[in-house]
Amino acid sequence: MNTGDSRYLRRDVSTTFTIGTPRISKVDIKNHTMTVYEDGQKQKTIPISAGQPAYSTWNGTMVVLDKAPMVNMTSESVGIADPYDKDVPWAVHLTTSGTYAHAAPWNEGRGYFGHTNMSHGCVGMSLADGKWFYNRATQGDITGSTRATVSPGNGFGDWNLPYPSWQKLSALR
């Protein structure tokens, strides 16, 4: 089988696989909510706080890269002048440039969740909602930001390419 650029497979290959429950989380930055769907059914709408104007959250489809029950986040690691150094619980990693959806317990009681975007670009939520989301997170979709769409190569930003752009990248043009 010709795979392009004078490369060939010795034989045709096929396989089968099973996928898990389809989960899509849609963040509405203007309305400060994240709605989680499983099998197309709404499971929960979570009040969130996304990126403040100086550090807006990326737009576009983001696929979970990894997740950890606790991550240390620093302003230096993402090139932000506004200093911070926090241990962040229930961290769901969305881009290689440092976007996460995570619990932000330091903001509980401040009135940000559901009302005001005050993060450095991440999607923050209460401790309880962060753990609930962490336990279900497989794929996310962020919409409504004023920031550009996350680019290919920034995590799995390739999901934002329209199909004609994918066709242009093919070896089988």
Smallest CA-to-CA distance from 137 within 11, 37, 14, 52 is with: 37
Among the listed residues 32, 93, 120, 122, the single catalytic one is: 122
Instruction: Clarify whether 93 is annotated catalytic.
Output: no
Asked if 102 is an active-site residue, the reply is yes
d(CA 125, CA 100): 11
Measured between alpha carbons, how far is 137 from 145 in angstroms, rounded to an integer?
21
Among candidate residues 32, 93, 102, 120, the one labeled active-site is 102
Cβ neighbours around 36 below 10 Å, total? 21
Distance between CA atoms of residues 86 and 16, nearest Å: 43
Q: What amino acid positions are annotated as catalytic residues?
A: 102, 122
